[in-house]
Amino acid sequence: APAKAKKIPSKGNNVELSSDGEVEEGSWEMEEDEDGSGEEMVDDYGASSSEDEELLPIEEAALKQKSDRGGLSEDDSEEEEVEEAEEASRQKMGQKEEESPDLQLNLDIDEQFKLPTNEQIEREDILFICDPPDLHIIHQRIKGNMEVLQDFAVKREEGHTRQEYLALLRRDMAAYYSYSDFLLTKLMDVFPLPELINFLEANEVPRPVTIRTNTLKTRRRDLAQALINRGVNLDPLGKWSKTGLVIYDSSVPIGATPEYLAGHYMLQGASSLLPVMALAPQENERILDMCCAPGGKTSYIAQLMKNTGMILANDSNAERLHSVVGNLHRLGVTNAVVSNCDGRQFPKVLGGFDRVLLDAPCSGTGVISKDPAVKTNKDEKDILRCAHLQKELILSAIDSVNAASETGGYVVYCTCSIMVEENEWVVDYALKKRNVRLVATGLDFGKEGFTRFKDRRFHPSLKSTRRFYPHTHNMDGFFIAKLKKFSNAIPQAQKDEEPAVEAATPSTVPDTVTEPQPKKKKLEGSKVDKEQKPPQPALKKRHSLQVQRRPLKA
């Protein structure tokens, strides 16, 4: 039964009520039942109120701890807690120190890299056919192999040569990064091993999105503010560029903003700005962009020329010229003429330019992050085919330049490839075949070009060329060379060597001035013309003018 509460005045205390009816002094005491039994109180749900019987063990321990600390103040208890925490941390540190020698021994054991046997490699090859390879194991093996190769004399395993380690490394990297064995072999020739890993890793990450401000219509500051107001996070591209902006993220499609449609900027990679900066076009010049699609470099040239002079934008692919025309209209370029000709035939079409920009077709080994198919679809024939075409185009570009130009006489050759066969090799070939010399590109960053590669030795002036890599400059792989033409004459000693190149490819036009003459005489059907071939050098200029006029009449 519930206990009854009764107000009982305490002994020696008088209970008085104030004017408000409140009790000023007194006490409340619980009165037991009439029978005087001391039964414990039970609530409505039948729960007992006895603390001793109902306490849990953890509660009893807590009460005991409180009773032990009853004589201590709060500050003393806090100090004791801090001391206990410090002691616990010291004990943990002691345990770690005891365990560290064992852990270090385990690391030393793991660092000892051993080459797998031929049987293990064959077993892995069979497993790779059925199941995908374990990339974690391959990655660890690449790391161990790299450490051995960097200190080969100390860490190498007896009885194994360096070539065996390199062959295993090439095989593992091909499996881990999905490259062909041919391309990895080429890359291992270009880069040192530590730099090669950085290059391969950089190709797995896309390059930052960059745009170029069109100063024909706006300023970079105004464009940046307009894009920031639309929710675009951006920064200036770098101190080397006055027009570039790098886009980190955007809440709107960067290629469909009103500013883009109005022609205030062009989506363009950072590396594509460099060749035009090296070309350094001046106002009122005649400039040829031999391979212009999709028009980013052409519009940048027009921007630097302030729409003065004349730009001939040429490309051999008619389908790609649609994008060139669209971009030139959108960006407000008015000094450009678009043509669809084979660049190798260009000296016969038009010549006498002040400057020529040749962004030659290449294997694309510098833009693997954009086109991962390059990892596996390129072989030796593709590289040599590109190199041969580039040699033809660079000779045509040099022949299209007027060495007597007051402000120009320059050719800028660039590719988005890192292969030596497509870069230094081609430029060295042009130095031997034409009266040109290499000059500084005007770019204050980038790595120097190769003057020696494997068993080949190039001209020492190739140091003035520039290479750009994704892992060092965070832009697409690029090669840039700037040539200055100092004479329009073709060296006599080099003319005699060129027929060998023409025999390999009849469409080649290194001798664009002299080659068309025999064909013209054959059409006339004169037998006497064949006997008069040797004394013809004095009539070169007259015949070249006739050949230039005929395609226009047709």
Q: Binding site annotation covers 291?
A: yes
DSSP structural state of residue 465: S
Q: Binding site annotation covers 343?
A: no
Q: Binding site annotation covers 295?
A: yes
Strands (DSSP E) contained in 3-137 are: 4-7, 28-31
Beta bridge partner(s), residue 266? 212
Name, in order, each residue with C-beta under 8 angstroms of 381's C-beta and a sequence gap of 6 or more. none
Q: Binding site annotation covers 222?
A: no
Which is it for strands 336-339 and 265-267: parallel, antiparallel or unpaired? Answer: unpaired
210-238 burial, b at 16+ Cβ within 10 Å, e below that, comes to bbbbbbbbbebeebbebbeeeebebeebb
DSSP reduced 3-state for 408: coil
Known active-site residue 416: yes
Q: Binding site annotation covers 263?
A: no
Q: Binding site annotation covers 294?
A: yes
Name, in order, each residue with C-beta under 8 angstroms of 293's C-beta and a sequence gap of 6 or more. 315, 317, 320, 321, 323, 324
Q: Binding site annotation covers 495?
A: no
Q: Binding site annotation covers 318?
A: no
Name, in order, each residue with C-beta under 8 angstroms of 393's C-beta and a sequence gap of 6 or more. 290, 291, 343, 344, 358, 360
- Residue 460 host element (H or E): none
DSSP structural state of residue 8: -
Note the Cα 247 to chain centre separation in Å: 14
Q: Binding site annotation covers 131?
A: no
Catalytic option among 362, 386, 414, 416: 416
> Residue 504, exposed/middle/buried by CB under 10 A (0-12, 13-18, 19+)?
exposed
Q: Binding site annotation covers 296?
A: yes
The dihedrals phi and psi of 42, each to the nearest 5 degrees, come to: -125, 135
Active site residues: 416
Residue set of the binding site for S-adenosyl-L-methionine? 291-297, 315, 342, 359
